[in-house]
Structure 1
Amino acid sequence: MLETCVTYSVLPASDLRRATAWYRDKLELEPEQTNEGGVLYGTGSDAKIYVYETANAGTAKNTSMCWLVDDIEATMAHLRERGVEFADYDFPGLTTVNGIATDEMGRSAWFQDSEGNYLCLTQPT
């Protein structure tokens, strides 16, 4: 039943104004809808991102959302020009080179938004 449904990500923000500015300035996303509780973004497909204000923002230490991209290096270069910093990891099971980890599923790179949410780019194999 759910395999045919469109999903959307819900991301927490401790400061919605700051988060909205970050998503605009760093990721070039403009809100589709805004209400008192949050901001809804489109992503170029049917998928959506809803950013809402809560004191719980930034407490998750896991990946909250991933974008599937065709060219991870080009996407990273563009985001780096806009001030996005990518994480480097070096521990068993995950090592990055220039911010990119490679495994059997593809290549991935992680960064944090202004609220401490871990976001990801993935170029599937």
Structure 2
Amino acid sequence: MEALAHSTVSCMLPVKDLDRARHFYEQQLGLPPLGARADGKFIYRCGGTELALFPKPEGTKAEHTALSFRVADIVQAVAALKARGVRFADYDLPGLKTVDHVCVLGSEKAAWFEDTEGNILCLHEDLA
């Protein structure tokens, strides 16, 4: 399966309202659209990965991070997205406490937010 190591990975995210989700991903996250597919998906390219939004009336039920963007400077990335209206989650749990929306988890810093459809997204910065 050597070919898989060189394949583009597609992340599939369910959305209740494709227009609302597209506005978020394009206007607030700044992702350039690749366009719609015949099967109803809408595609974005992020580095070597494709992000596919697909209509699903019931949306998502995930309680985990569905997608994480690796950034070079998480503080700068959080500030830039906040300026575009993205709302970050804050946590104060045993083993998980955010300060200015960011927490340190082992060898990375992370910050979480939701898209308009309830998908949990993350920014992470590698420390090592």
Q: Normalising to structure 2: TM-score of the pair?
A: 0.90
TM-superposed CA distance for 1:107, in Å, is 0.1
Gaps of 5+ in 1: none
TM-superposed CA distance for 1:106, in Å, is 0.7
Q: Which residue in 1 is equivalent to 2:13?
A: 11
CA RMSD of aligned residues (A): 1.3
Cα offsets for 1:45-68 (capped at 9, x unmatched): 211100010023232111000000
SS at match of 2:22: helix
Gaps of 5+ in 2: none
TM-superposed CA distance for 1:33, in Å, is 2.2
Whichever residue aligns with residue 38 of structure 1, its letter is K
Q: Which residue in 1 is equivalent to 2:41?
A: 38
Whichever residue aligns with residue 19 of structure 1, its letter is A
Distance 2:33 2:11 in 1: 14
Q: Name which of 46, 52, 60 aligns with 2:62.
A: 60
TM-superposed CA distance for 1:42, in Å, is 0.7
Distance 1:5 1:30 in 2: 21
Q: Normalising to structure 1: TM-score of the pair?
A: 0.92
State the identity as a percent.
35
Cα offsets for 1:60-110 (capped at 9, x unmatched): 111000000000011111100000011001112211111101021210000
Query: Runs (4+) of structure 1 moved beyond 4 Å?
Result: none
Question: What is the aligned length?
Answer: 124
Distance 1:3 1:89 in 2: 35
Distance 1:89 1:66 in 2: 17
